[in-house]
Amino acid sequence: FKQVTLKSLGLHIQLGHAIDDLCCNPKHAFANEFVVMDTNSIHKVELDFCECSMVQMHIKQLLRTHLFLATVTNPKTTTTFHMLELFQLLSFEFKASSYEYYQ
């Protein structure tokens, strides 16, 4: 097996619209370098924010797709809600630290 990124496989995430609804004015996130941390890996993906007339803040667009931002100013890294829920479970039940979770 060869390790490849989801971006190189063609995964493209469009925020702010339904799955089959295309955005008329997409805005690339940081030159198409966006990182999503999930329970199975850290993924590089291509992500576009919606910039059309029904635009919402970038933060809101990410949160509505269950992606939690690493920073609120110019986000380029997120964590899935699933990963945060798993960390919460491990920290409450097993008293695991964030360092132990990362390992």
The pLDDT tens digits for 19-69 are: 788 888 888 888 778 999 999 989 999 999 999 877 788 899 999 999 999
CA distance 23 to 16: 8
Single pTM value for the model: 0.81
Residue 43 phi, psi (nearest 5): -110, 140
* Tokens 């490849």, residue located: 4
Tokens, residue 32: 């198409």
Q: How confident is the model at residue 81 (pLDDT cuts 50, 70, 90)?
A: very high
Nearest CA-CA partner of 91 in 101, 83, 82:
101
CB-based contact 64:18 (threshold 8 Å): no
